[in-house]
Amino acid sequence: MFKRVRTPCIGVCSTGIGDQVCRGCKRYAHEVVNWNAYSNEQRFVIAQRLEGFVAQVVSNKLLITDEARLLTAVKHQQINFKQEQNPYCWVFDLLKAGASQIVDLSVYGLERHADWTHTSLIQIKDAIDADYYTLSCAHYERYFSLPQLSE
């Protein structure tokens, strides 16, 4: 049995204005609408997809060099995170909570990938969020979007 899956909603829903993918939580519009009717197992599948997308886009920009140091620092900073998730999700939670306040990534057991060496952490956070949204949209279009019927 899966642990109860809580809503990934962050209170910034764009599905109400017509987006098929929420710009806040990155769920699909039908998932936002039907969330309360889903079984825990269905919610878990959605949570796993979102976690995988976040881990993928974060790991393309930052490298965890010391997971234990990251865990200790995130706990010490009292960052709201889910320890059972992929550690790259912790990194995104850390950046959302205080990218502008981090001076030395090594304190968190992190380093930038070479292509991101001269990019601020705020810009990296924003790029992660944009890539996360793009990946969610591409997945939606590939697996859920209905083809347009031509006459």
pLDDT in tens, 62-118: 999 999 999 999 999 999 999 999 999 999 999 999 999 999 999 999 999 999 999
* Domain annotation covers residue 79: yes
More confident residue, 43 or 144: 43
Q: Is residue 21 part of a domain?
A: no
- Please check whether residue 104 lies inside any domain of the structure: yes
Whether 121 contacts 108, CB under 8 Å: no
Say how many domains are in the chain. Answer: 1
The answer to whether residue 138 is domain-embedded is: yes
Quote the CA–CA distance of 23 and 132 in Å, as a whole number.
9
Give the span between the Cα atoms of 27 and 128, in whole angstroms: 16
Query: Does residue 99 form part of some domain?
Result: yes
Name the CA radius of gyration of the chain, rounded.
17
Q: Is residue 18 part of a domain?
A: no
Q: Does any domain span residue 71? A: yes
Backbone angles phi, psi at 111, to 5 degrees: -150, 155
Query: pTM for the full model?
Result: 0.92
Q: Is residue 31 part of a domain?
A: no
Q: Residues near 22 by Cβ (< 8 Å), separated by ≥ 6? A: 12, 13, 14, 15, 28, 29, 32
Q: How confident is the model at residue 146 (pLDDT cuts 50, 70, 90)?
A: low
Task: Name the residue range of residue 86's domain.
Answer: 48-143
